[in-house]
Structure 1
Amino acid sequence: MRRAIALAARGLGHTRPNPVVGCVVLDAAGQVVGEGWHQRAGGPHAEVHALRAAGDRARGGTALVTLEPCNHTGRTGPCAQALIEAGVARVVYAVPDPNPQATGGAATLSGAGVAVTGGLLAAEAAEVNEAWLTSVRTGRPFVLWKYAATLDGRSAAADGTSRWITSPEARADVHRLRARADAVVVGSGTARQDDPHLAVRHPTHEGEPAQPLRVVVDTHATAVRPGARVLDDAAPTLVAVSHQADARHLDGLAEVVRLPAAPHGPGLDVTALLAALYARDVRSVLLEGGPRLAGAFIAAGAVDKVVGYLAPALLGAGPAALADAGITTIGQALRLGVTDVARIGPDLRMTALPQRPNHPATSQES
């Protein structure tokens, strides 16, 4: 199953709006005879790739799958039926499928006489598929907020300069996160100050990186102008503006989506933004900046995971990594549960999950 989980990870960033899935097929003697993973939406599922590799050797054998085999016909046929037709005697899966359109594969397999076991390494498999699982359960994209800061919490110096707070190793690691995301989101301040490119520039161990949708939240349509790096042809770009904004200068350069104002405070409605992205098959968002936009996402309860890169440096002044998030007293602090701390070059990378009741990112493994 751990091999199947590693195979599933190869699909990260390539399968939207589908989950990532890995499969290993053993013959009747317990030898590996086929492997596969879901490589792209609309293409064969992991089980089909593995069964094709196994051929007749799958008959009487075992299939280990990271997600309960699907039970519906979409752009591809039901994997439960493919396993039955291949003559597999046993199926072991890690995570039950929460998608009401696809669930029921285990019951179909059992009804056909296949021995079925669920829950093997469920937590590990759920972690790889956390974005898709969260999106199914919440009806919006999974949001990972990434930030870089000095040890005293500054995201830039007093004069606004921020290149580079963290090391080349940490910046390369960010490209790994980008390659796994369906969309990368920044605000108008970041667009105006940094003129970011937001495309993936570094290869990953999962193979050739997919390019995420580049999203700029530019309420008044003043930050993204013709010639901006985010408007090149390296990846598609969407600019979110208000209903009143004059965005004619973006015609033919980017997709423009108009959103309502935030219910509290300045800017656009975060919930509406996520709904617009979900409608475009985005299931995972990497929120990269800046402090005000991150504060708006946290105030909306829309951050599912935090990855902070902390540089061993002090500035003493300058903008903080997080601006107003609607928190006014210590009792309202959003507490985080740290899941990983790693050294990335000279920097520290801390990964944490918000500790909210029934939070999808913390409850999916229970």
Structure 2
Amino acid sequence: MAERDVVFMRRALALARRAEGRTSPNPMVGAVVVKDGRVVGEGFHERAGLPHAEVTALSEAGGEARGAEMYVTLEPCCHWGRTPPCTDAILKAGVRRVVVACRDPNPQVAGKGLSILAEAGVEVEVGVLSREARWLNRGFISRMERGRPWVVAKVAASLDGRIALPDGRSKWITGEASRREVHRLRAGSDVLVTGIGTVLADDPAFTVRVPVGEGRDPGVVVLDTRGRLPVGARVVREGTVVMVGPGVDEGWRGEMERRGVRVVEMGVRGERVDVEAVCAWLGQEGVNVVMVEAGAGVTGAFLEAGVVDELVVFVAPRVLGEGRGWVEGRVLEGLGEREWEVREVRGVGEDAVVRCVRRGWV
């Protein structure tokens, strides 16, 4: 691939990243229009229902788009949704060449957008920084290809893997810098999943504290098999979802629904709500990225079910000795093949963060 193509595609990816956590059910997309080696228009998709990146970039370019090149991080759409097809806008503007990072896995597009452009005489090139583009939209791609969101499990633990003292105290194992980083992770997620045990122990609000314009509060899903969530808990608010098993108290359900909480009955496995069914349900709801912020039981259930795609472990430089580990359940059968690939290890204040991704997907 040409170096100039890489340079302009990197710019398009940077633009797309500005909308992280805000575009679901749509993907993040950035676009750059280039004429005679200079950028004449650029844009990104800010959120569902607003103009797509290509349209914004073409609008900024105006008449200079005719005979220009466009760099876009995902194949342009070719169907009507909340907005018109981007392929129509590209052809109308007279763009001569379109460089795409990766194909759109959405069955409504899936190569059709590229074919429409090529058949109309537009020069089309695909695959420039495709790995980076797939990583950026791993949530959307996961939902399109596997029917479920990309699942991140966040853990904060001591050097010896403990998340709480023997008496259950767990605030704060990691430092302030790690907690700020967690808020950034939340801002990039569509939904946070937690267990009733975490809510009863800590009464978290699961809000996001980042600079204005950099994120929004994600949705909250509480796994609560028997319907024990207190009506006064901080997560009891409009839009929260509580996943329950069969037979919960109807009076409790009514109290939750009056407060704007959505109560959804799911199947159970053992004593827990079926986490695979939870992931499938979230996929149907258009959720791209989920972060699990929970105790050892729920984290272990997601790992045991094989639905965790990414692990982000914050490690504090302290040893707790006796105490609760960060995962429960039968997660690994043997010590043969390594199932996780380390993507990042770095310092965060006085702590360290290790980011791992399950092998064989992105």
TM range (shorter): over 0.9
Partner-residue secondary structure (3-state), 1:230: coil
Partner-residue secondary structure (3-state), 1:134: helix
Note the alpha carbon deviations across 1:209-249, whole angstroms, 9 max, x for none.
12211111011111x2111111246xx21111111122333
Give the residue type in structure 2 aligned to 1:218: D
Q: In 1, are the aligned partners of 2:314 and 2:354 still within 8 Å (CA)?
A: yes
| Structure-2 separation of matches of 1:55 and 1:137 | 36
Partner-residue secondary structure (3-state), 1:12: coil
Find the counterpart in structure 2 of residue 306 from structure 1: 311
Give the residue type in structure 2 aligned to 1:130: R
Partner-residue secondary structure (3-state), 1:251: helix
| Structure-2 separation of matches of 1:137 and 1:145 | 20
Q: In 2, are the aligned partners of 1:149 and 1:165 still within 8 Å (CA)?
A: yes
Find the counterpart in structure 2 of residue 35 from structure 1: 42
Greater shift after overlay, 126-135 or 303-312? Answer: 126-135
Find the counterpart in structure 2 of residue 69 from structure 1: 76
Which residue of 220, 223, 230 corresponds with 1:214? Answer: 220
CA RMSD in angstroms, aligned pairs only: 1.5
Find the counterpart in structure 1 of residue 244 from structure 2: 241
Equivalences for 1:1-366 in 2 at 5 Å?
A: 1-27=9-35, 29-103=36-110, 104-203=112-211, 207-222=213-228, 224-232=229-237, 236-246=239-249, 247-248=252-253, 249-253=255-259, 254-262=261-269, 265-331=270-336, 335-355=339-359, 362-364=360-362
Q: In 1, are the aligned partners of 2:296 and 2:327 still within 8 Å (CA)?
A: yes
Q: In 1, are the aligned partners of 2:174 and 2:314 still within 8 Å (CA)?
A: yes
Shift of 1:326: 4.3
For structure 1, the 5+ residue unaligned runs are 356-361
Over 2 Å off, 4+ runs: 325-331
Give the TM-score of the pair, scaled to structure 2. Answer: 0.93
Shift of 1:301: 1.1
Give the residue type in structure 2 aligned to 1:312: P
Find the counterpart in structure 1 of residue 4 from structure 2: none
Partner-residue secondary structure (3-state), 1:35: strand
Q: In 1, are the aligned partners of 2:225 and 2:271 still within 8 Å (CA)?
A: no
Note the alpha carbon deviations across 1:21-68, whole angstroms, 9 max, x for none.
0001112x1210111001111111100010011100111101000001
| Structure-2 separation of matches of 1:258 and 1:363 | 31
Shift of 1:278: 2.0
| Structure-1 separation of matches of 2:59 and 2:198 | 47
Q: In 2, are the aligned partners of 1:30 and 1:61 still within 8 Å (CA)?
A: no
Q: In 2, are the aligned partners of 1:334 and 1:354 still within 8 Å (CA)?
A: no
Shift of 1:275: 2.1
Q: In 1, are the aligned partners of 2:236 and 2:256 still within 8 Å (CA)?
A: no
Shift of 1:75: 1.3
Q: In 1, are the aligned partners of 2:87 and 2:116 still within 8 Å (CA)?
A: yes
Partner-residue secondary structure (3-state), 1:289: coil
